[in-house]
A = this chain, B = another copy of it.
């Protein structure tokens, strides 16, 4: 088994960009991934141990946390440091690349937060429309 965490299935070539589109999309997929964003946010504060993250995110399964961290590690966004002690200890920390990614992500989050009312309003009225009428 080699999870790779996310499919990144590849997109059919687009008429304009083509190659790069796919690659960019794979990064967007990372961001869109529910857990990845949370982990990144958690790690902004500094290194965290496995179970700390698990506890703080509270709702993620051990499996998913592992897969998420693997994916982030694979993309060079976090580092995994093992202390061969007993009991074992593993720290996860954001790389410079990861911290760089955190910026636009936070910008997006900021936008999302600021426009939540509009979006939720739109959703509500849309649902009202399609519910009856």
Binary CB contact string for chain A from 103 to 133 against chain B (1 if under 8 A, 0 otherwise): 1110111111101101111110011001000
Q: Which residues of B contact A38 (CB under 8 A)?
A: 11, 14, 21, 25
**Contact of A34 (CB < 8 Å), options: B29, B57, B104, B123:** B29
Q: Could you tell me if B12 and A37 are in contact, using CB atoms closer than 8 angstroms?
A: no
Q: Could you tell me if B109 and A101 are in contact, using CB atoms closer than 8 angstroms?
A: no
Q: Could you tell me if A115 and B130 are in contact, using CB atoms closer than 8 angstroms?
A: no
What does DSSP make chain A's interface, helix, strand, loop or mixed? helix
Q: Does A74 contact B (CB under 8 A)?
A: yes
Nearest Cβ on chain B to A12's Cβ, whole angstroms: 3
Known: A14-B59, A32-B33. 5 other contacts (CB 8 A): A13-B58, A14-B56, A27-B115, A28-B32, A105-B108
21 contacts between A and B (CB under 8 A): A2-B130, A12-B59, A13-B59, A14-B56, A14-B57, A20-B113, A20-B116, A23-B113, A23-B120, A24-B109, A24-B113, A24-B116, A27-B116, A28-B31, A32-B33, A75-B119, A76-B123, A97-B122, A104-B111, A105-B108, A108-B108
| A residues with CB within 8 A of B | 2, 11-15, 20-21, 23-25, 27-34, 37-38, 56-59, 73-77, 97, 100-101, 103-105, 107-113, 115-116, 118-123, 126-127, 130
